[in-house]
Amino acid sequence: MPQEESGSITDILESVKGLLARRRWWVLLTACATTLATISVLMLLPNRYTSEATVLVIQQQVPERYVVPTSTTDVSQALQGMTQEVLSRSRLLSIMDELGLYSKEKRGMAPEQIIEQMRRDVSIQPLLENGSDRRNVNSFKISFVSDNPQRAQEVTSRLTSLFIQENEKMREHHATVTTNFLQEHLEAVKKQLTNQEELVRSFKMQHLGDLPEQEQGNVQIMASLSAQLQNTQATLSRAEEHKVYLESLLRGYRGLVSRGAAVPGSPSAGSTASPILTAQNELSRLQSERAALLSAYTVGHPDVRRKDAEIAKAEAVLARLKAAPKPVEEQKTEVPAASSGGTEEDAAIAQVKSQLEQNRVEMANLSKDAERLKAAIAQYQDRLNAAPVREQQLAGMVRDYELLKLNYADLLKKEEESGLAMSLEKSQEGQQFRLVDAPSLPTIPSSPQRLKISAAAAAAGIFLGLALAFFIESTDRSFHSEKQISEHVKLPLVVAVPVLRTSHEERLRKWKAGFEWVAGSVLVLAVLVAELYVYRRG
């Protein structure tokens, strides 16, 4: 079995060897023609030179814990935005006019086509550290391809300066826009905060007295008013009892007078309250109420000021009573005992009537005080009842105020940080681009890659020649070996006649072989010379 496999491989190699020997000129001519044609085309193509520059991305010099940058965009995204800005239509047209680019192309191409051609000639390539992702760009390379090395260098230098300027302009503009936005928003929030403060203040002034923080004071005042009401009602009860006593005394006096009996001594002036004593009691009561109010409110509170006005009126009434002359009835009581009995009786009755009138006035005042105290107690009770509602209303407004206050403080902090970042960008201490490799002046053309293309063309020519040789061999129906005849006729070969050439045919055969060697050598030498020329030209 191995011998059969070895024999089959040998037969295949012999067949291939015979095929190459018979079709050698197809392979050689095809390979040489393809190579020389490719080299000829390459020689017609103009040289293209590439100038490159490397720009380093330097991060912010001041630590971020001191100055927070306004832009959080990574370098790769920022680089894409700057690339679109630098390679915009207006910028490229300006560079073309400034450096005189594409003068030949302008004759037969539209401006849009020339701009697209220049964009294809420009290359922006981020340089990444080993093992880092595309967001951690620390440098990038700018290159431009032109048929003139000096022009390629000039364009690359112009693009590099545009990228550096655009980065500074973009970051400063971003910081300025951020600062202006924060300032405008800060003013708006400040206005809202002021309006909310005014709303809370107006609410407190409108509901002064029934606010949650005044609840304890209202409880104390209502307790004091309740005590005063009890005292007033007790005094009113005593005044009613005294009225009954005076009315009975007056009836007794009148009965004695009608019977002609002597009137006993008149009741003492101190047996009932005089107007002066009533006014003094009223003044004391008002002063005690004012003291109770001061325990919960300040002197400027409306209730305290109202109580001060009532005290002033009471003091004025007391002063007028003290300055007034004594009544006629009292003067009559001071008449000497030598006066007649009728006059003394009339004076006693008049004195009782006067005391009854004073008692009536006192009871009326006490009734008014009791009603006033009841109304005040009801008012403070309404305040206590309204306190929970006011607390809920005020809590909502205060909550909104506190949120606005926190928002204002946060915006104020951000505005200060943005101002620092803007100052940092203006002083060029933030993130910046720095040129580390200046635009190069190319001496070797970057394209076309003639040596690589010509070598690839030679390989492609050999492959094409082999394919053509196999194709022609497959269409050839002649026999080239005894084995092919045996396989075709299916009969054993009995006699094989060798080729018998004459001397003239032998000489022709040798001349033909020599010519083929010379022609083949010339073709191969021509290809090698062409490849050498391509190699030297670059």
CB of 454 closer than 8 Å to CB of 42: yes
Choice between 335 and 434, residue whose per-residue pLDDT is larger: 434
What is the C-alpha to C-alpha distance for residues 218 and 203, in angstroms, rounded to an integer?
18
Q: Which of 35-39, 272-276, 532-536 has the highest mean pLDDT?
A: 35-39
Q: Encoding tokens for residue 32?
A: 């040489």
Domain ranges of the chain: 2-44+456-537, 213-405
Opening angle at CA 416, ends 414 and 417, nearest 5: 65
- The number of helix segments (H) and strand segments (E) in the chain equals 15, 4
Cα-trace Rg, the chain: 62
- The three-state secondary structure class of 432 is strand
Opening angle at CA 129, ends 125 and 135, nearest 5: 70
Sequence-ordered list of residues with C-beta below 8 angstroms from that of 24, at least 6 positions apart, any chain? 520
Confidence of residue 270 (pLDDT cuts 50, 70, 90): very low
Which CATH architecture group holds 213-405? Answer: Orthogonal Bundle (1.10)
Q: Which of 31-45, 132-146, 147-161 has the highest mean pLDDT?
A: 147-161
Q: What is the pLDDT of residues 187-246, one digit of tens each?
A: 888 888 888 888 888 887 877 777 778 778 888 888 888 888 888 888 888 888 878 777
Quote the mean pLDDT of the chain: 75
Opening angle at CA 454, ends 448 and 459, nearest 5: 140
DSSP string, 64-111: TTTS--S----HHHHHHHHHHHHTSHHHHHHHHHHHT--TTHHHHS-H
Beta bridge mates, 126: 140
- The three-state secondary structure class of 221 is helix
User: Helices (DSSP H) in 111-214: which residue ranges?
Assistant: 111-121, 149-206
The mean per-residue pLDDT over the stretch 345-373 comes to 82
Q: Is the pLDDT at 20 greater than 80, yes or no?
A: no
- Maximum alpha-carbon separation in the chain: 209
Rounded alpha-carbon distances, angstroms, from residue 373 to 222, 377, 387 = 9, 6, 21
Give the pLDDT score at 488.
60
Q: Which of 516, 529, 527, 531 is nearest to 33 (CA)?
A: 527
Give the length of the chain: 538
